[in-house]
């Protein structure tokens, strides 16, 4: 989805190492990693931030160390968020762009980018509706500002 509205094409990017390397390099026990994930989630961190924090502490891959992804661990411990993190990040971006456009009314490039972000939000809502979101949930910019705060 990241390259949906840009002109860049191609598949270049970083690759993950083999899983076997991760198992050997992890020094923390499995139970300690799971408890740390739960503690960080209770502090209000999103799964992406939890992964970065664990990487800084010497756990390169939670899935290789525990056999489960961070979101699976959070679901098992019942510490999940109300909304998916990718949807929340897009809503935060849309709120920031709307605030910027109130101050800078002639910024046409950001008007276009706002339509791109909101179309991504609507596409994600369609994907998550009935599964992780209520069936009748719709994106509304005024309600989104209240949701993000």
- Higher pLDDT pick, 17 / 101: 101
Domain match, 69 and 107 both = no
CA 9 to CA 134: how far, in whole Å? 35
Q: In 3-71, which ranges are E strands?
A: none
Structurally, the chain folds into a number of domains equal to: 2
Residue 44 lies in a domain: yes
Q: Is residue 12 included in any domain, yes or no?
A: no
Q: Are residues 113 and 142 in the same domain?
A: yes
pLDDT tens for each residue of 45-100: 888 889 899 888 888 888 888 888 888 888 888 877 788 888 999 999 999 999 99
The whole-angstrom distance between residue 58's C-alpha and the CA centroid of its chain comes to 22
Q: Pick the most confident of 65-74, 107-116, 137-146.
A: 107-116
Domain encompassing residue 35:
19-76
The reported pTM is: 0.71
Q: Do 94 and 46 fall within a single domain? A: no
Q: Residue 136 in contact with residue 86, Cβ under 8 Å?
A: no
Question: CA-to-CA distance for 144 and 131, rounded, in angstroms?
Answer: 20
Q: Name the band, by pLDDT with cuts 50, 70 and 90, for residue 14.
A: confident
Helix (H, G, I), strand (E, B) or coil at 22: helix
Q: Do 62 and 109 belong together in one domain?
A: no
Same-domain check for residues 30 and 61 = yes
If asked whether residues 105 and 143 sit together in one domain, one would say: yes
Question: Is 129 domain-assigned?
Answer: yes
- Confidence (pLDDT) at 112: 95
Same domain, 89 and 144: yes
* Same domain, residue pair 69 and 89: no
Q: Would you place residue 23 in the very low, low, confident or very high pLDDT band (cuts 50, 70, 90)?
A: low
3-state helix, strand, coil in the chain (%, to 5): 60, 0, 40
Helices and strands, number each (H, E), in the chain:
8, 0
**Quick one: 92 and 55 in the same domain?**
no
Give the end of a domain, one of 35, 54, 76: 76
Does any domain span residue 14? no
Please state, in angstroms and rounded to a whole number, the distance separating the CA atoms of residues 33 and 81.
19
């Amino acid at each position: 989805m990241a390259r949906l509205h840009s002109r860049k094409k191609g598949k270049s990017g970083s690759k993950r190492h083999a899983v076997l390397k991760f198992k050997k390099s992890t020094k923390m026990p499995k139970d300690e990693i799971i408890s740390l994930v739960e503690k960080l989630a209770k502090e209000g961190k999103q799964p992406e931030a939890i992964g970065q924090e664990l990487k800084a502490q010497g756990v390169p891959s939670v899935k290789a160390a525990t056999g489960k992804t961070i979101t699976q661990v959070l679901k098992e411990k019942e510490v999940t968020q109300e909304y998916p993190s990718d949807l929340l990040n897009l809503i935060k971006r849309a709120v920031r762009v709307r605030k910027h456009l109130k101050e800078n009314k002639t910024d046409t490039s950001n008007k276009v980018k706002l339509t791109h972000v909101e179309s991504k939000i609507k596409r994600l809502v369609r994907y998550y509706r009935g599964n992780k979101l209520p069936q009748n949930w719709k994106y509304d910019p005024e309600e989104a500002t209240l949701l993000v705060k």
